[in-house]
Amino acid sequence: MITVVDYGVGNLHSVAKALEKVGAQTRVTSDWHDVEKADGVVLPGVGAFKDSMDAMHRSDLAKAIKSFINSGKPFLGVCVGLQMLFSESEEFGQSKGLDVFGGKVVKFAQGQKVPHMGWNQITISKPGNPLLRGLRDGDYLYFVHSYYVVPQSKDIVATQTNYGVDFTSMVWQGNVFGTQFHPEKSQETGLKIYANFKDLVNSRL
């Protein structure tokens, strides 16, 4: 069972439908008990970092997600769900994140049109990523964001994308994955990522 976390500020239904399309059993929930008991977790996100973190703390989901990650089971954060894995964000002032990874979330430089919205290419910078099985350098995925993550460690950078600057568009360390792009909006290429995540979850059962 893959749990899609509902904290009141996400594009969760499109994520759940994409997972179901690739054959995954899914549950959309706001109950932190369900998160801790899940076989795999997807944390979606759209909107402001601080609003998302506040909502996660109000419902005890922040603690549940950190506990789930520490269990070693597969976790995937999407868009703001990726950004919340980091220490802090500068969006609307400094806000603390989940601090799973060291680093910060910053805005594209002045002069860059924001949000960065539409199709853009990925460059794979870390081989062996199970979620990228079947994908190649130069594949296009769909983005909608004005902020991006700057990890302290380059070791977790799985893909990069250029939008005026080369930014981290996917991270991966152990059981934790995060994408700045939206797989659920990325047609067949994005569905491959969700199918790979489903397979990874099933392989651990």
Instruction: Give me the pLDDT at residue 93, please.
Output: 84
- Is there a catalytic annotation at residue 188? no
Say yes or no: domain 2-203 is CATH 3.40.50.880: yes
Residues constituting the chain:
205
Catalytic residue among 91, 116, 145, 184: 184
- Is there a catalytic annotation at residue 182? yes
- Give pTM, 2 decimals: 0.96
Catalytic residue among 13, 36, 79, 116: 79
Instruction: Give me the pLDDT at residue 188, please.
Output: 98
- Tens of each residue's pLDDT in the chain, 205 residues: 999 999 887 668 899 999 999 999 999 999 999 999 999 999 998 888 999 999 999 999 999 999 999 999 999 999 999 999 999 999 888 999 999 999 999 999 888 899 999 999 999 999 999 999 999 999 999 999 999 999 999 999 999 999 999 999 999 999 999 999 999 999 999 999 999 999 999 998 8
- Is there a catalytic annotation at residue 88? no
Q: Where are the domains of the chain?
A: 2-203
Catalytic residue among 20, 91, 182, 188: 182
Beta bridge partners of 17: none
Instruction: Give me the pLDDT at residue 141, please.
Output: 98
For residue 41, what are the CA distances in angstroms to 1, 34, 71, 163? 9, 10, 12, 29
For residue 187, what are the CA distances in angstroms to 7, 184, 192, 194? 25, 7, 9, 11
d(CA 9, CA 11): 7
